[in-house]
Chains A and B, each alone.
Chain A
Amino acid sequence: MKWLLWTLVALAPLRVTAETSPKKWAESLVDNPAPTDSLSDSATVDPVLDMADQTVMSQHSRHAPVTSQSESSLQGKALDRRRGLSLGDAMQAMPGVTVVHTGSTLAKPAIRGLNGNRIVILNNGVRQEGQQWGSEHAPEVDPYLASKLTVIQGASSVRYGADALGGVVLVEPWPLRTEPGIGGEIHLAGFSNNREGDASATVEGAPTWFPNGAWRLQGTLKKGGDASTPNYGLNNTGIEEINQSAALGWQKPRLGFDLFYSRFQTKLGIFSGSHIGSVSDLEAAMQRGRPEGISNFSYDIGRPYQDVTHQFAKAHAYLVTPMQGKVNFAYALQNNVRAEYDHRPLNDALAARNLPELEFEIMTHTADLTWDFHPQEEYDAALGMTGMSQINTYSGRPFIPNFLNYNGGAFATLLKHGRQFDLEGGLRYDTKFLRTYAREKGVIVTSAFEFDNTSAMLGGIWRFTEGTTGKLHFSTAFRPPGVNELFSAGLHHGAAAVEYGDPDLQPERAYDGTLALQAKRNRWSSELTVYRTYIRDFIYLSPEFPPTLTIRGAFPTFRYHQADASMWGGDAALRFTFLRQGGDWDYIGQASLLRARNEATGGYLILMPADRFVNGVEWTLPQWKGLTDLHLGANVQTVLKQTHAPADSLDYAPAPPGYSLVGLTAGFQWPLGEKASVQIELEAENVLNDVYRDYTNRFRYYAEDKGRNFALRLKIPLDLPKASGSD
């Protein structure tokens, strides 16, 4: 088995990779590669719940549920209402999702409180591979490229590979056009707080001279200046982003091939008040309460800043097989270059060269092969193999070593459909080889590791009555220690701490049980998810004494340790139509709780989201004076103080008080001709301009969180009615 996997790995770039998105998985059920929704079409997914925060929990309305896992997605108009936000912020308030911020520009999604290396992001069916280990490493994904964002909660390694302890994020673009003609759309968005403007355009076509062929070009421009809190501006928090993508495909019902390329480039200012040279600086910043040197609004991005470029190229093919099956194979190459610039060097000649203090380059080849088929009418089965090779190099200040990383994995899943009850199970085996190269006192030191592990899942889906579903899912998954956890040695600037890895760390293993109940009646719909997760050998940073003495003073010192951790939590959502008069009047409620403990010390885990609630009212009206889809809403988001945080001595400052923020939304469609319409969405965040700090924002030590923000979003179709691709 293992040698089979290594053979796959050794074939490196010649390998193929699987399309692992559930959409494709679902498509194979209907033996027809027709897109589930096209670019120019407003999504027609039947929402179980349409939250005030614009989350749609899709219940696989077009297909029977294909997973016993708890999942939800954001698409169509609900996603359009969050355009212009970073991937993390766009997904925030989906059930089970929170965000770890580093200031106003860097957002990392967290599922069930776990982020970074403990979740997997699948961008266009391929594992996103960049630097993931720091909270200042935001995912390099253009959300304008997505037609659908899906969150799968809980340990999900069987289908998606190692590391997915918290869950998986799927970023799916639109399928290529199938109707002949040319179409497209333009998104425009403006934000008042940081005076940001975004423009994103897509043009696609299916030429008549190229039967079954289709192409697409897409690009996004984003420019924002300094954000501001209710009391002051945040210097050097501008953002610049330029993204492009292109796709070309040839798709017949039984066979198809497509190519995809995307380039994401961002330059992000790091709030100047957060840049500290020593722990005394951090203490002084907290004592001041208000950042020093506040200057006027500017679009300029100076040091410190990050400049990150992520390139992605993919070739994918499918073939319909006997047993109503479909084989998908894909090969993808990713190149991620992350340059981090600290303060300007003293030496003028050096400063003029404008070199980054730290630069990482990671190149990843992935190859996956999957076969989804139906051995018998009531069975869905899948077999798959994946391989990955990766090379990571650094220049500048050493913190983690260079490394080579090879992964191979194989999995099998089986689902049996019953009249009221579906049962599914799956198994996976992974092997990982890691070789690191570090330079210690001028001598190259190399270490090698091998991690072999199995993952498994078992689950059931009950359809109690029409509209009432229950899901129970058990899974186990593992995560090998990351290179930073094994080898980091030195100052982690983003964390103002000296961190040491431990090369003897063992993989983490998670055991996860989730119960999800959904009920839908005429006037209300509700969803409740509860989970319990036990992570054996959870890797965490533990303080060491005495602090490390450096030429910039004493720094707190941490070393990676392992201990068992246990987590439990729940998410609940309710939508209730309390009045049907001049449109629908809905109450929307949402609650999310999480507790995460270190079983060895009895303390709580750090940086876990506090308990939170949303209460809102939304009015919707299908049509009024030629306008369609009118809606108006108000909501209050309440976040409690995180009282389940580690002891104060383990953090620089105690958790900030809780807060409540008021938000407003409004929008409608303005028809242009018969089929097309312009979608106009208005939003106001933190309407009362409340002063607050969030526990999971790493910059809470330095400054308040963002103040009032108005957003205007427009979606303009490029289709002429005649050439419209909408169905």
Chain B
Amino acid sequence: MSPFRTHLAPTLPWLAVFCLLGLSPISGCTDVSNPAESNESEVFTTVKLVLENNADSTDNPEATLKFKDGFGHGDALEKNDTLKLKAGASYSAELILLNESASPADVMSEEVKEEGIDHQVFYLPAGIALTVAYADKDATNHPIGLLTELTAGSAGTGTLKVTLKHQPGLKSHTSTVATGETDVEVSFHVTIQ
């Protein structure tokens, strides 16, 4: 195997003829030397938790996790904030999901809310005194999990795993984080001071 320096490959004038004959029915005869831009129909790039202290409206912690170019390219983690909470405080939280590979960014959490009966977000704290309660409901009265109430316990550090599941026809009062297909699965670092 040796890299070729000259452009020896003949062009394919006949290709055009076959394209005209309609032998290339769907995508048409794309130019081989001009590969398509990554055109993933829908990706999540960014997961954002925005909180407000229920007792102090000036205490607004937030944290963002962002992957560079969506899913499937060995995405490098571009932003990985730590969520900082106050011991003993309770917060109203909103989960915002974005596709920042589109311009302007798509607010994917709006789409999730619209199809709430097929989606649910699950929260799993680990190594830290944190409880999460659902604060929203879909059309069939099951939680979606975009809006939650977070209660911080004693000081410490740990993680909060956030999982968005697509559960078409599967979501029920017995469905769990193991049900359906995973759209998002990330872990935030959390510190309670």
B26 to chain A, nearest CB (A): 5
Contacts of B12 in A (CB 8 A): 12, 389, 391
Q: What is the chain A residue whose CB lies nearest that of B187?
A: A553
The listed residue (A311, A446, A480, A551) touching B47 by CB distance below 8 A is A551
Interface size on A, as a range, is 35 or more
Q: Which of A535-555 contact B (CB under 8 A)?
A: 548-553
Contact residues in A for B40 (Cβ distance below 8 Å): 357, 396-397
Residues of B within 8 A of A404 (CB): 9, 32
CA distance A335 to B115 in the complex (A): 39
A312-B113 Cα distance, complex, nearest whole Å: 47
Residues of B with C-beta under 8 A to A347: 42, 106, 111
Q: Which of B3, B34, B74 contacts A449 (CB 8 A)?
A: B3
Contact of A345 among B35, B39, B41, B168 (CB under 8 A): B41
| Distance between Cα atoms of A231 and B178 in the complex (Å) | 21
Q: Which residues of A contact B42 (CB under 8 A)?
A: 345-347, 350
Q: Are A361 and B30 touching (Cβ within 8 A)? A: yes
**26 A-B pairs in the complex with CB atoms less than 8 angstroms apart:** A10-B10, A276-B181, A284-B178, A292-B170, A335-B25, A343-B166, A344-B168, A361-B24, A389-B12, A393-B27, A393-B31, A397-B40, A398-B36, A401-B35, A402-B30, A402-B35, A404-B9, A437-B32, A439-B37, A489-B74, A491-B72, A550-B67, A551-B45, A551-B70, A551-B185, A552-B182
Q: Is the CB of A12 within 8 A of B71?
A: no
Chain A 1-41: CB-based contact to B (< 8 A → 1; otherwise 0): 00000100110110000000000000000000000000000
A69 at the B interface (CB under 8 A): no
- Which residues of the other chain, B, contact A402 by a CB distance below 8 angstroms? 30, 32-33, 35
Distance in angstroms between the alpha carbons of A504 and B181 in the assembled complex: 36
Chain A residues near B184: list those with CB within 8 A.
Answer: 551-552
Q: Are B169 and A277 in contact (CB under 8 A)?
A: no
**B111 contact set on A, CB distance < 8 A:** 346-347
> Contact between A551 and B71 (Cβ–Cβ < 8 Å)?
yes
Known contacts A278-B185, A398-B35: A447-B74 contact under CB 8 Å: no
Please tell me if the beta carbons of B181 and A395 are within 8 angstroms of each other in the complex.
no
**Which residues of chain A from 547 to 581 have any CB-CB distance to chain B below 8 Å in the complex?**
548-553, 557
Distance (whole angstroms) from the CB of B52 to the closest CB of chain A: 25
CB distance from B45 to the nearest CB of A (A): 7
Q: Is B1 an interface residue (CB 8 A)?
A: yes
Chain A residues, Cβ within 8 Å of B163: 280
Main secondary structure of the interface of A (DSSP, over half): strand
Chain B interface size, under 10 / 10 to 19 / 20 to 34 / 35 or more = 35 or more
In the bound assembly, the distance between CA atoms of A98 and B16 in angstroms comes to 40
Contact A447 to B182, CB < 8 A, known contacts A347-B106, A439-B37, A489-B73: no
Closest approach, in angstroms, between the C-beta of A126 and any C-beta of chain B? 15
| Partner of A450 from B4, B115, B185 at Cβ < 8 Å | B4
Q: Is A174 an interface residue (CB 8 A)?
A: no
CA distance in complex: A529, B92 (Å): 72
B184, closest chain A residue (CB): A551
> Is A295 part of the binding interface, using a Cβ–Cβ cutoff of 8 Å?
yes
Residue of A nearest to B19 (CB): A363
A293-B170, A395-B39, A437-B34 known; A13+B14 contact, CB < 8 A: yes
Q: How far is the CA of A723 from the CA of B112 in the complex (A)?
A: 66
Partner-A contacts on B (CB < 8 A): 1-5, 8-10, 12, 14-15, 18, 23-27, 29-45, 47, 65, 67, 70-75, 77, 106, 108, 111-112, 114-115, 163, 166, 168-170, 178-186
- Least Cβ–Cβ distance between B15 and chain A, in angstroms: 7
CB of A359 within 8 Å of the partner chain: yes
In the bound assembly, the distance between CA atoms of A281 and B166 in angstroms comes to 11
Bound together, the chains give a CA A84 to CA B62 distance in angstroms of: 59
For residue B6, which residue of chain A has the nearest CB? A448
A: residues with CB less than 8 A from B are: 6, 9-10, 12-13, 275-278, 280-281, 284, 287-288, 292-293, 295, 309, 311, 313, 333, 335, 337, 339, 343-348, 350, 355, 357, 359, 361, 363, 365, 389, 391-399, 401-404, 406, 433, 435, 437-439, 442, 444, 446-451, 480, 489-491, 498, 500, 506-507, 548-553, 557
Please judge, given known A-B contacts A333-B18, A402-B32, whether A448 and B4 are in contact too, CB under 8 Å: yes
Instruction: Write the chain B residue with the least CB distance to A11.
Output: B10
- What residues of A have a CB within 8 angstroms of the CB of B18 in the complex? 333, 335, 363
Q: For B1, list chain A residues within 8 Å (CB).
A: 449-451, 480, 506-507
Q: What residues of chain A lie closer than 8 Å to B112, measured between beta carbons?
A: 346
User: Considering the chains assembled together, what is the distance between the CA atoms of A343 and B73 in angstroms?
Assistant: 19
Q: Please, which residues of chain A bring their CB within 8 A of the CB of B5? A: 448
A280 to B42, CA, bound (A): 21
Bound complex: CA A355 to CA B43 (Å):
15
Other contacts beyond A333-B23, A346-B42, A395-B39: 11, CB < 8 A: A6-B8, A12-B12, A281-B182, A335-B25, A392-B32, A393-B27, A393-B31, A398-B36, A446-B33, A451-B1, A552-B182
